[in-house]
Amino acid sequence: MTVIYMDNAATSWPKPAEVSAAMIKTMEEAGGNAGRGGHRFAVAAGEILYQVRETVAAFFGSDDPFRVTFTANATESINLILKGYLKQGDHVLVSPLEHNAVMRPLQFLSQQNIQWSVLPAGKDGRINPALIEPMIRQNTRLFVICHESNVNGVIQPLHEISEIAHSYQIPVLADCSQSAGSIPIAIDCEGIDFLAFTGHKSLLGPVGTGGIVWGSHVDVNQIFPLKQGGTGSASDRYVQPDFLPDKFESGTLNTVGLAGLKAGIDWINRNQQNLVYLKKGELFREFLNEIRSIRRVHVFCAEKIENQGFVFSLTIDGIDNGFAAQWLDEEKGILSRVGLHCAPLAHRFLHSFPAGTIRFAASPFTTSQDFEACIEAVKILAENTTTLH
Amino acid sequence: MKEFVLLVYTSSHAIGIEKKLKNLGVPCKLSSIPRNLSSDCGICVRFDEIGLKTVEDLVKTLPFDIQEIVALES
Ligand SMILES: Cc1ncc(COP(=O)(O)O)c(C=O)c1O
C-alpha cells in the first residue's frame, strides 16, 4: 500500500532530495565548529551558517542576515521572546487559536503575574480587528498571533492587527510555524516584530531547526537571552555578548540541520510555480469543498476561503476520531493526525475540546490523486459509521 | 604593500564583511587573528592597503560595531 502523508502540519514529508544531500555534504566537508577557531573546517561551517542566515532573511523580506537568530524550533523561539521580553505585571493579548508553544510558557509566566487574554474573533477563530482596541490595557506589552492555525488553517489578518498594536507601541510576536513556507511573508510589511518559525514544516527542512527573524526596528537590547554560554566570541569574558547574532545563540548551532533548511528554502524559491499556495491552492480548495459536501462530516476551516491555509480538521458523526484515523492508516495508507494538536485553546474555542479532530495538511508534494484518495476514504467512513465499528 | 586586518567581535561578522568586500571587488581573505592582537578565538578579515578606503566606508554602514582596523607590522 502506498502511503499518503497528510500530516504535513506536524512535520512535512517527504523533503526535497537536496535537503539530505546538503546535510551530508556539510557533515563531510564542513565538519568544524562554526565560530570556534580559524581553521578551514571551522570557517567552512561558519560560511554555511552565514549563507543560511542570508537565505532565511531574504525569504522573510529582511535585508540583515544578522537579524536571524537560530533556535531548535518554533517552541524555543517563542519561549525566548516570551521569557526574554515580558516583565512582571505585564499583560499579553493572544489569538484564540494559539498552540501550547505559546500557552504553556504563558501559563508558566503567570507565576510572575503576567496575564493574558484572548482577542475577540469570529466563529472560526479569525480575529476581528474592529474589536481589538477595547482589549488593550495600560499594561498590555505584547500581541501573540498564530499566523496560520494548525487546527483549522485560519490565517489571521496580521497586518491589520499589527497596525493597531503599533499605534499603541505594542510589538507583535507572530507564530509562523505553519505559514512560513506556504504563505509569502514579508516581515516589515506585515508589521511583525518577532517572527518565530520552525524549519521542519512548510520550509521543508529537517527537524531541530528554527529561529526568530527580528523586525528591522526592533531593539534587541530589550530582550534577555534565554540561555547564556559559549559563542566563540568575547571568550575572555564571563558576560554574555550583547550583539547579534551571538547574544541569543550560545552553544554550538545545528549547522548540519541548518544547511538542510537552506536547501529546503532554496527548493521553495526554485519551485515557486509548484508551491502549495499557488498551483496547489486550487486543488486544495476543491479538496476542502468536496470534503465539506460529505454528509455527517463536520469540517473545521476558515469561514471565508481566502483566509484558509493548507490545513483543516474534521469530525464524523457517530464515529470515534481515533478509530477513524487508525482505519485511514491501516486500510488506506492515509496518515492524518488525530487529537488536540497541542492546541487546547483552539479546540476549546472551536468547541472540539476534548475529543479533538482529525487533521489533514497538504505539502507541495501532495498530488491530486492523494486528495482524491482522501475524499473517497472519508466518504466510506461517513457512509458506514455503523458497520465499520 | 601594507597589509591590514579588520578585527570584529564575532566570527560571523567577519564572514559577513568578507562576503560584502568580495562583492565590492576588494581582494581580502578570512584568516586567524594574530595572537598579539586579540585574546579571542575567532577569525578576522585581512586585506591590502588598496582596499582600506572601501573597508572604512563599508564599516560605517554596518548595523554592528567592529573592533578595529589594524596595520600589520611587516
Ligand atoms: C501553530 C504552531 N505553533 C508552534 C508549533 C511548534 O513547533 P515546533 O514543535 O517545531 O517547535 C507548531 C507545531 O506543531 C504549530 O503548529
Task: Report pLDDT digits (tens) over A70-84.
Answer: 999 999 999 999 999
Could you tell me if A198 and A140 lie in one domain?
yes
> What pLDDT score does A316 carry?
97
Span A174-179, average pLDDT: 98
User: Which positions ≥6 away from B17 have C-beta within 8 Å?
Assistant: B6, B8, B45, B58, B62, B66
Domain end position, chosen among A270, A299, A323: A270
Residues A41 and A143 in one domain: yes
Give pLDDT, residue A384: 86
Tell whether A231 and A258 lie within a shared domain.
yes
> Model's pTM, two decimal places?
0.96
| DSSP, res A277 | T
Residue A211 has pLDDT above 70, yes or no: yes
Residue B44 alpha carbon to ligand 1 centre in Å:
38
Q: Average pLDDT in the A237-262 region?
A: 96
Whether residue A93 is found in the same domain as residue A80: yes
The x, y and z cell numbers of residue A173, run together, are 510576536
Residue A276: predicted pLDDT: 55
A35–B40 C-beta distance less than 8 A: no
- In this predicted structure, what is the pLDDT of residue A319? 94
Tell me the mean pLDDT in the region A338-343: 93
The answer to whether position A58 is within a domain reads: yes
Residue A278, pLDDT > 60, answer: no
Rounded to 10°, the helix A321-332/A368-383 angle is 130
Mean pLDDT of A153-176: 98
As for the ipTM of the complex, it is 0.88
Helix (H, G, I), strand (E, B) or coil at B28: strand
Please answer yes or no on whether A244 and B43 come within 8 Å at the CB atom: no
Output the CA–CA distances (angstroms, integers) from residue B55 to A11, A183, B50, in the order listed: 44, 38, 10
Q: What is the mean pLDDT of residues A159-182?
A: 98
pLDDT of residue A268: 94
Phi, psi of A212 (to 5 degrees): -125, 135
Nearest CA to ligand 1 atom 12: A177
Helix (H, G, I), strand (E, B) or coil at A41: helix
Residue A254 belongs to a domain = yes
Q: Is residue A238 part of a domain?
A: yes
A201: domain range?
18-270
Per-residue confidence (pLDDT) for residue A152, from 0 to 100: 98
φ and ψ at residue B45, rounded to 5 degrees: -105, 125
**Would you call A233 and B39 a contact, using CB atoms and an 8 Å cutoff?**
no
Among residues of chain A, what percentage have pLDDT more than 90?
91
Residue A6: inside a domain, yes or no? no
> How close, in Å, is residue B51 to chain A by CA atoms?
22
Q: How far is the CA of A137 from the centre of ligand 1 (A)?
A: 28
At A234 the pLDDT is 82
Mean pLDDT, residues A310-322 taken together: 96
- For the residues B12-38, what does the mean pLDDT come to? 91
A81 and A147 together in one domain: yes
> What is the pLDDT confidence band of residue A237, given thresholds at 50, 70 and 90?
confident
Q: Are residues A91 and A156 in the same domain?
A: yes
Please check whether residues A50 and A181 belong to one and the same domain. yes
Q: Cα(A362)–Cα(A286) distance, rounded to whole angstroms?
A: 13
Give the mean pLDDT of A147-173. Answer: 98
A169 and A250 part of one domain: yes
> Above 70 in pLDDT, residue A136?
yes
* pLDDT of A23: 98
Spell out the domains of chain B, with CATH numbers in brackets: 3-71 (3.30.70)
pLDDT tens track for B30-48: 998 877 776 565 799 999 9
Output the average pLDDT for chain A: 95
Q: Rounded to the nearest 5°, which phi and psi values hold at A52?
A: -65, -45
Q: How many CA atoms lie within 13 A of A75 on its CB side?
A: 12
Same domain, A307 and A236: no
The answer on A152 and A88 residing in a single domain is yes
Q: Average the pLDDT over A262-274 and give the result.
A: 89
Same domain (yes/no): A143, A250: yes
Residue A262 located in a structural domain: yes
What pLDDT is recorded for position B33?
Answer: 84
Q: What are the chain B neighbours of A38 within 8 Å (beta carbons)?
A: 11, 30-33, 41-43
Judge whether B14 and B43 are in contact, CB under 8 Å: yes
What is the reported pLDDT for A274?
59
Predicted pLDDT of residue A279:
62
CA distance A44 to A30: 5
Q: How many domains does chain A have?
A: 2
Mutate to test the pocket of ligand 1, among A11, A99, A151 (most ligand atoms within 8 A of CB): A99
Residue A388 inside a domain? The answer is no
pLDDT score at B40: 67
Cross-strand pairs, A183 = A180
User: Which has the minimum average pLDDT: A243-247, A357-361, B29-33?
Assistant: B29-33
- Could you identify the residue written with the cell 566537508? A29
A245/A308 same-domain check: no
